[in-house]
Structure 1
Amino acid sequence: MRVILSTYDSRGGVEPLAALALRLRAMGAEAIVCAPPDCAARLDELGVPLVPVGRPAKEIAHGERPAAPDVQRIAAGLIAAQFDGLAAAAQGCDAIVTSGLLPVAAGARSVAELLKVPAVNVSYCPIFLPSPHHRPSPLPGRPVPAEVHDPDELDAIDVANHNAFLREPLNEHRAAAGLPPVDDVRAFVRGEQPWLAADPTLAPWPGGADIVQTGAWFLRDERPLPSEVDSFLQAGTPPVYVSFGSMPAPAGFATSAISLIRAAGHRAIVGRGWAELAGVDDDADCLVIGEVNQQHLFRRVAAVVHHGGAGTTTTATRAGVPQVVVPQWADQPYFADRVTALGIGSRAATFGDALRTALAPEVRERATAVAATIRTDGASTASRLLLNMS
């Protein structure tokens, strides 16, 4: 069986597909990832074949915020890249897994239709799937009115927002490929039974649409920590780790965070990430690092300060480390609230207060207890489901 795993996302969205690819290969199938070129080095390190599709994700994540017409142009470009790059890579495949940004998932599902192969859409957070138990997520230029609370009305708004955002550019490309127009973009992208690749403890499905919750797709990381990181960890008490991964960082955040971490009596490790976070001085109690094995690092720190993306939150929860979540958009507020509700950390309304909460002994105990409930078989579950499609 040959499976194409399509996404347009940063590291946190590509790594689960790498986990799925490796598990499929272990079960005798062939898996190819189609994703932005940013992830080429990591996938090559893992031995997972990559077909780069589209422009680098960092250009969109850290570029200037586009005006509404530019958002539509970017969406159209992402769809076009699927009809070009993905369609070529998927020739002869048996199934396509779609994920990532909505235009990419819509384009990938159209390619599957064109090639007459089954497709399944996967999300890493419940809020991206329709349910009467949570508010729909806004789309670019299409907010969800705060004064609306009725679930049926919210659902109708969500359907209309999907259509207003994407139906025209999607149907233009479908027509050029000889495919019929799509009337309901949301229903088309999600399909009859979408998957939720999230842990049931950290991100439970509240009910609503017919979905399959596989559990999170973990990629076991055996890379050793760099010697300078290991030496720093051994040189004193566990530090607090701060990074925003692929996300931008609030202005001046690293400076204020390091100051408050020091005031709390802790050392700091700062992950540069795409935001290029830096230290404030050359003092020995702060180390600035690049990309490392977070699975190993998180087990050796006092707390993790991060943006609240699905990947980082799941890794930190599995490591049993207290968290301070500083959310910005998309799924990040959801995971910030879940960390708070589980008692394994705090959402940072005020960073100093959130840090003090996270560093409390009872939060560490709770984080350790919750870590023991996190499943690690999600990629195996998903692989079996895919193999049964053939």
Structure 2
Amino acid sequence: MTRVLLSTYGTRGDVDPLVALAVELRALGADVRMCTPPDEEFADRLAGLGIESVPVGPPVRALMRPTAPPTAAELTRYRAELLETQFDVLPAAAGGCDALVAAGLAQVAARSVAEAAGIRYVYATYAAVNLPSPHHAPPPRPGWPEPEGADNAALWELDAQRVNAQFREPLNAHRAALGLQPVDNVRDHVYSERPWLAADPVLGPWPETAGLEVVQTGAWTRVDERPLPAELTAFLDDGPPPVHVGFGSIGPAPDIARWSVEASRARGHRVLVSRGWADLAVDDCFAIGDVNHQRLFGRLAAVVHHGGAGTTQTAARAGVPQVAVPLRVADNPYWAGRVAATGVGAALDGPTATFETLTAAVDTALAPETRARAAALGAGIRTDGATTAARLLLDELR
């Protein structure tokens, strides 16, 4: 039996796509285990699906505390500790496996572990902006200052230098202990020469770039069969479609949630507020926890969110207009830009947003022509990305 180790570190947006891939691999007869953060919700989800989980690193919820985000020094320490933990845990987790699929740059040790074990290595990312290209600048990396005034090539070079400064020395020390040659460019080593892009080709296409062979599979999602809570269904049935305001694992910039609610109500819409990891709350709003977005989003007037890959994909597939208000973190600004570029909504820069600009964005999202574009885009969103990736991996292994 083919055995595959899947590994990532991050929030639900990082873990859920790999869960979708794991489910498809198992359906095709492979045995799968997953390395994830040790947070209870991830372990419970995998246990419920019968997938073996291997905890790696500190709980990720502790890093996402909304009141006091980690400092640059704390993030540097976390990254260093995570590298050491990966070299401690991944070799045993990869034992007996035929392939290791790693998602996210935080998986710095994964390729070395795969090399030492003599097994197939695949790097996957969920957004084109994470891969080097002259067509876009690198995404903001938490804890590192954003450079300004340089072209994209120079920004990618600076990005590589920063990754090297954090990881090259300890990575090469571990590689030497494993009998492996040192690497010069840690980032590109992790990405490999043939990375996989788990993003929808309509919503987040890869711009063809010389020197990098990117395999775009489509986004990795799985069908969510959970019913909506009875009280939420009753709320939806009791009036016109509401606006959904939620920011996932991200704590939004001050006042963003309240302004979103006020702007939506000023246009005559009811509002749902998703509490998320930040335990978001707005007075006099119907608040919800973890619910099935695939069922919910199709019943909404619009979705106001943080620009996460999963939320953007789910809203696009549902054909619902969006307002993306990201912090300058990871790929969130990229997905916000894709919302605006495809005409399915509006995008703002979270730290500089005002009530006036947010109100204008809500107006754009609620316009009939925006809903028509969102519906048209949704009809073209693929749903077979995880199946495509699973078949591709197993075909290559065979």
Q: TM-score, normalised by structure 2?
A: 0.92
Looking at structure 1, the residues matched to 47 and 126 of structure 2 have their Cα atoms a distance apart, in angstroms, of: 23
Looking at structure 2, the residues matched to 28 and 298 of structure 1 have their Cα atoms a distance apart, in angstroms, of: 33
Compute the RMSD of aligned alpha carbons. Answer: 1.7
Give how far 1:178 is off. 4.4
Q: In the alignment, which residue of structure 2 is the partner of 1:95?
A: 99
Q: Larger deviation: 298-307 or 134-143?
A: 134-143
> 2:76 pairs with 72, 76, 88, which one?
72
Looking at structure 2, the residues matched to 140 and 57 of structure 1 have their Cα atoms a distance apart, in angstroms, of: 14
Give how far 1:264 is off. 1.3
Q: Which runs of 5+ in 2 are unaligned?
A: none
Give how far 1:106 is off. 1.2
Q: In the alignment, which residue of structure 2 is the partner of 1:40?
A: 43
Judging changes above 3 Å, is the alpha-carbon distance between structure 1 residues 138 and 171 closer, same or farther for their aligned structure 2 residues?
farther
> 1:265 pairs with 254, 268, 273, which one?
268
Looking at structure 1, the residues matched to 301 and 101 of structure 2 have their Cα atoms a distance apart, in angstroms, of: 37
Q: Map 1:305-344 onto structure 2 (within 5 A).
A: 305-328=304-327, 329-344=329-344
Q: In the alignment, which residue of structure 2 is the partner of 1:362?
A: 369
Looking at structure 2, the residues matched to 246 and 43 of structure 1 have their Cα atoms a distance apart, in angstroms, of: 19
User: Is the 8 Å Cα contact of residues 325 and 347 (structure 2) preserved in structure 1?
Assistant: yes
Q: In the alignment, which residue of structure 2 is the partner of 1:132?
A: 134
Give how far 1:266 is off. 0.8
Judging changes above 3 Å, is the alpha-carbon distance between structure 1 residues 152 and 351 closer, same or farther for their aligned structure 2 residues?
closer
Q: Map 1:223-302 onto structure 2 (within 5 A).
A: 223-281=226-284, 286-302=285-301
Judging changes above 3 Å, is the alpha-carbon distance between structure 1 residues 42 and 197 closer, same or farther for their aligned structure 2 residues?
same
Q: Which runs of 5+ in 1 are unaligned?
A: none
Structure 1 runs, 4 residues or longer, greater than 6 Å off: none
Q: In the alignment, which residue of structure 1 is the partner of 2:195?
A: 194
Judging changes above 3 Å, is the alpha-carbon distance between structure 1 residues 237 and 24 closer, same or farther for their aligned structure 2 residues?
same
Looking at structure 1, the residues matched to 14 and 144 of structure 2 have their Cα atoms a distance apart, in angstroms, of: 23
Looking at structure 1, the residues matched to 258 and 140 of structure 2 have their Cα atoms a distance apart, in angstroms, of: 31
Amino acid at match of 1:16: P
Looking at structure 2, the residues matched to 196 and 168 of structure 1 have their Cα atoms a distance apart, in angstroms, of: 28
Give how far 1:122 is off. 0.3
Give how far 1:180 is off. 3.3
1:213-250 per-residue CA deviation (whole Å, 9 max, x = no partner) reads 11111111011001111111001111111111111122
- Where 1:181 maps in the other structure, the secondary structure is coil
Amino acid at match of 2:384: D
Amino acid at match of 1:171: N
- Where 1:148 maps in the other structure, the secondary structure is coil
User: Is the 8 Å Cα contact of residues 248 and 275 (structure 1) preserved in structure 2?
Assistant: yes
Give how far 1:59 is off. 1.1
User: Is the 8 Å Cα contact of residues 125 and 198 (structure 2) preserved in structure 1?
Assistant: yes
Q: In the alignment, which residue of structure 2 is the partner of 1:61?
A: 64
- Where 2:137 maps in the other structure, the secondary structure is coil
- Where 1:79 maps in the other structure, the secondary structure is helix
Q: TM-score, normalised by structure 1?
A: 0.93
Give how far 1:30 is off. 1.1
Amino acid at match of 2:234: S
Give how far 1:176 is off. 4.3
- Where 1:389 maps in the other structure, the secondary structure is helix
Q: In the alignment, which residue of structure 2 is the partner of 1:345?
A: 345
Q: In the alignment, which residue of structure 2 is the partner of 1:106?
A: 108
Q: Larger deviation: 157-166 or 297-306?
A: 157-166
Looking at structure 1, the residues matched to 179 and 9 of structure 2 have their Cα atoms a distance apart, in angstroms, of: 24
User: Is the 8 Å Cα contact of residues 127 and 135 (structure 1) preserved in structure 2?
Assistant: yes
Amino acid at match of 1:106: V
Q: In the alignment, which residue of structure 1 is the partner of 2:184?
A: 183
User: Is the 8 Å Cα contact of residues 136 and 144 (structure 1) preserved in structure 2?
Assistant: no
- Is 1:217 aligned to 2:220, yes or no? yes
User: Is the 8 Å Cα contact of residues 139 and 165 (structure 1) preserved in structure 2?
Assistant: no
Tell me the percent identity.
55
Looking at structure 1, the residues matched to 47 and 228 of structure 2 have their Cα atoms a distance apart, in angstroms, of: 19
Give how far 1:140 is off. 4.8
User: Is the 8 Å Cα contact of residues 7 and 99 (structure 1) preserved in structure 2?
Assistant: yes
Amino acid at match of 1:352: T
